[in-house]
Amino acid sequence: MENGSKATSNFSIPEYDLKSSGKKMPRLGFGTATFPFEPAEVTKKAILQAIEIGYRHFDTASMYGSEQPLGEAIIEAVSVGLIESRDEVFITSKLWCSDAHGELVLPSLQRSLQ
């Protein structure tokens, strides 16, 4: 396995080479779904702590209610110097099955990207 992103606790996360961009994406992501649902501020705090210990890949979905707290956490992480820019972070998201039909796909993706 390749060495990956180094976290403050001296472990490394294997990475996947994204040939089209030349970037390396961590294979291990931090899941942002909670059950039962947590308030957005709790989710944001958990994401900030994950960034602080070295996570750079986050998994989210609109149905998790975590896309906005994730965006806010990334903005805060940049502003306090945990990361230099949004470019250091990878986000994987997904559509819920009710949004995965024809004309519903693009609006759902646009909401996720906000």
pLDDT tens for the chain, 114 residues long, are: 344 554 455 678 899 999 999 999 999 999 999 888 899 999 999 999 999 999 999 999 988 989 999 999 999 999 999 999 999 999 999 888 787 888 888 888 888 887
Measured CA to CA in angstroms, residue 107 lies from 41, 91, 92, 104, 113 at distances of: 26, 18, 17, 6, 10
**Domain residues of the chain, as ranges?**
5-113
Q: What is the CATH number of domain 5-113?
A: 3.20.20.100
Active site residue 64: yes
pLDDT for 9 equals 59
| Terminal CA-CA length for the chain | 35
Prediction pTM value: 0.81
Which among 50, 64, 70, 90 is annotated as catalytic? 64
Reduced to 3 states (helix: H, G, I; strand: E, B; else coil), residue 6 is strand
